[in-house]
Structure 1
Amino acid sequence: MKIWTSEHIFCHPWETVAQASWRKYPNPMNPNVVAIDVLERDVKNGILHSRRLLSSKWVFPGWARKILGSERICFAKENSTVDPTNRIMTLFTQNLTFCHLMSIDERLSYTAHPEDPSKTLLTQEAVVTVRGVPLSSYLEGFLTNTISLNASKGRQAMEWVIGKLNAEVHDLTTTAAKNLHVLTSPPTVQASSLPEC
């Protein structure tokens, strides 16, 4: 078993980061995630609970393909909670593919930064366990390194999505201001178009 942990600070408020998390895929930094399907979603006591199915392409090295099989779409389940009152979003993901050989349990938590509420603290943890195959410790190390690389790409993807969100807000604000100006401006009448008495 190998455990990987990480912390990262986003210089954006929690509400923006939580919203970006829902729109993270697809993105150019993580092209391996090919689909996300919402299986269940409800609100209990003001907390949003969601279950999603994630589909992604995993590219294994040649030696791992001999053990695990060929490259294919892999599936994982994600359970998440969003508590807007306490500004906490938690996502827990477990692999469904190859679960008889390995388990990858990943937990992400987005919280308002305790010292600066205009920022968001991301804490991540992954527990990787490989069993019943040769070189299991080596494979655990490979998977842990892959998770670390993907986490870095995931943070870049979040910044990319936040940039898109900010651009959308800017475009909406600009359009609304133009429309408001048109609606509140007095109509102009050209003298030549007035009927003669």
Structure 2
Amino acid sequence: MVRAYTQEHVYRHPWDRVTTAVWRKFTDPDTHAVLSHVLDVHTLQQRIEPASGRLHAVRSITIRSPPLPFLLRRVLGQEAVVCHCVESTEVNARGRTMEIVTRNASLRGLLEVEERSFYWPHPERPKEWTAFRQETSIRCKPLAAVAAVAEKVEQRCAERFQQNSVKGREVVERICKYLEAEASSASAISC
């Protein structure tokens, strides 16, 4: 069984600011207090397509899971697990879109998670706001035969992903406000 979830949000900031904040999300010093489950982030690859100007980047992200459900604790013999994920990003600056796809690289025999995030100028206020959509699919593999257990595991994972998604949006909003203040200060000094 695969569970799919979609969340949408409107950032009341321009696309350039939001995508800059998304890039800074894991490096901002105040982020760790909010996203404490993120243990490590490394850029593995970055390249720009000369013809289109599109940026492609791949990062590894290491996270710590919340306490596991009883059955998984028994199977794995531990309270929580460390999971390694691969995040692939494509930024189309000319078309003003950004897509991020994150998949777990470890624990795939137990659980498959894919998260897709899209950022684009809001259709009603394209110079001022940014539209965001996040699609998450979760599949608990070996427990599929025991549907009730699989459903509980998937639901618990989904709840955690939704909570972390809210926290991630809060971090991006905070960084956008910081960038806005930074831009205002710079323009006041140049006057």
Residue 39 (str. 1) matches residue 62 (str. 2): no
Instruction: Please state how far the C-alpha of 1:14 moved relative to its aligned partner.
Output: 0.4
- Structure 1 outlier segments of 4+, above 6 Å: none
Q: Distance in 2 between matches of 1:79 and 1:150?
A: 19
Instruction: Please state how far the C-alpha of 1:34 moved relative to its aligned partner.
Output: 2.0
Q: In the superposition, relative to structure 1, how do residues 172 and 128 fare at CA in structure 2: closer, same or farther (>3 Å)?
A: same
TM-score (norm 2): 0.85
Alignment partner, residue 112 of structure 1: 121
Q: Any conservation in 1 of the 2:65–2:83 contact (CA below 8 Å)?
A: yes
Q: Secondary structure at the match of 2:180?
A: helix
Q: Secondary structure at the match of 1:60?
A: coil
Alignment partner, residue 95 of structure 1: 104
Alignment partner, residue 134 of structure 2: 124
Q: Secondary structure at the match of 1:86?
A: coil
Q: Which structure is larger by alpha-carbon Rg, 1 or 2?
A: 1
Q: Any conservation in 2 of the 1:56–1:73 contact (CA below 8 Å)?
A: yes
Residue 157 (str. 1) matches residue 171 (str. 2): yes
Q: Distance in 1 between matches of 2:102 and 2:76?
A: 20
Instruction: Please state how far the C-alpha of 1:73 moved relative to its aligned partner.
Output: 2.6
Q: Pairwise CA RMSD of aligned residues?
A: 1.8
Q: Distance in 2 between matches of 1:172 and 1:8?
A: 29
Letter of the 1:90 partner, please give it.
E
Alignment partner, residue 138 of structure 1: 152
Q: Distance in 1 between matches of 2:135 and 2:46?
A: 24
Unaligned ranges ≥5, structure 1: 182-197
Please list the CA deviations of residues 29-72 of structure 1 after superposition, one character each: whole Å capped at 9, or x if unmatched.
Answer: 21111221110100112100001101112122351322344224
Q: In the superposition, relative to structure 1, how do residues 115 and 109 fare at CA in structure 2: closer, same or farther (>3 Å)?
A: same
Instruction: Please state how far the C-alpha of 1:7 moved relative to its aligned partner.
Output: 0.7
Q: Distance in 1 between matches of 2:180 and 2:77?
A: 42
Q: In the superposition, relative to structure 1, how do residues 170 and 72 fare at CA in structure 2: closer, same or farther (>3 Å)?
A: farther
TM-score (norm 1): 0.83
Q: In the superposition, relative to structure 1, how do residues 69 and 105 fare at CA in structure 2: closer, same or farther (>3 Å)?
A: farther
Alignment partner, residue 185 of structure 1: none
Identity, in percent, stands at 27
Report how many aligned residue pairs link the two structures. Answer: 177
